[in-house]
Amino acid sequence: MTALEGSLEAHVGGDASVSFSPRGGTRSVLEADGDVKLRVPVGVSLRAELKAVGDLRVEATGSRVPGDGSMTLILQDGAAELTAAAGGDLAFTETAHADASDLAGAITAQVEAALYEAEAELDTEFGEQGALATAVSDQVRRALDRALRRDRDEAVPPTEAAADPENERQIILTMLAEHRITVDQAEALFRALEGTG
C-alpha cells in the first residue's frame, strides 16, 4: 500500500494498491498489468476514467457514466483528473481515511495491506473460491470505514454497498467452518465488524 498526495504517473508490471489524494488541477495516470486497488478520501474533487480487463468495482459517491469495461466517475466538481487502467480487476473506493500520515490512516493502510495479502494468498490457493475472501475483505473495509467515520462524527448516509452485519457474520462463520480461516482470524474479523479492533 502506497499513500500519495498530489499527482501520479506510474506503470506497474504487477498489482497496484494505492491510497491517493489528488490536488485540484493535476492530471494523474496509473496503469498496471495486474489488479488495481485505489482509495481516495471522502470529499476529493476528481474526474476518474477507470478501465479494467477484469471486474470493475466502484464504491464512491458522484456521477457515473459506465462503458464497456470502463467507467467515468466524477466526484465533487472534478478538479483533478485520473486515468487508471488495470490488466486485471480494478477497485476504486472513496474512504474516510486514505491519508497514511495520521493514525487512523496508518491503521487503515495496515489493514488494507493485510487484506490485500490475504486475498492474493487465498486467490492462489482456492482460485474461484477465493472470491469469498474478497467479499469478506470488502465487508471488513466497509466496517473499518464505518468505525472511522463514526469516530470523526461524520454523518455519512448508508449506501447501497453497506451490507447486513448479520450476513457479514454468517460469511465469517462459513469460512471458519470450512477451515478457510483460523479462529484467531475469525475473531479479528468480528472485532473489525464491530469497530472495536
Question: How confident is the model at residue 168, as a pLDDT?
Answer: 82
Share of the chain above pLDDT 90, in %: 29
Q: Which of 24-38, 108-122, 125-139, 160-174 has the highest mean pLDDT?
A: 24-38
> What gap in Å lies between CA 59 and CA 157, rounded to an integer?
13
Q: Say which amino acid occupies 80.
A: A
> What gap in Å lies between CA 1 and CA 3, rounded to an integer?
7
More confident residue, 157 or 174: 174
> What gap in Å lies between CA 80 and CA 69, rounded to an integer?
22
Cell numbers found for residue 94: 472513496
Model pTM score: 0.58
Question: How confident is the model at residue 131, as a pLDDT?
Answer: 64
Q: How far is CA 28 from the centre of its chain?
A: 19
Q: Say which amino acid occupies 30.
A: L
Condensed to tens digits (0 to 9), the pLDDT of residues 110-154 reads 776 677 667 667 666 766 555 666 677 777 767 776 666 665 544
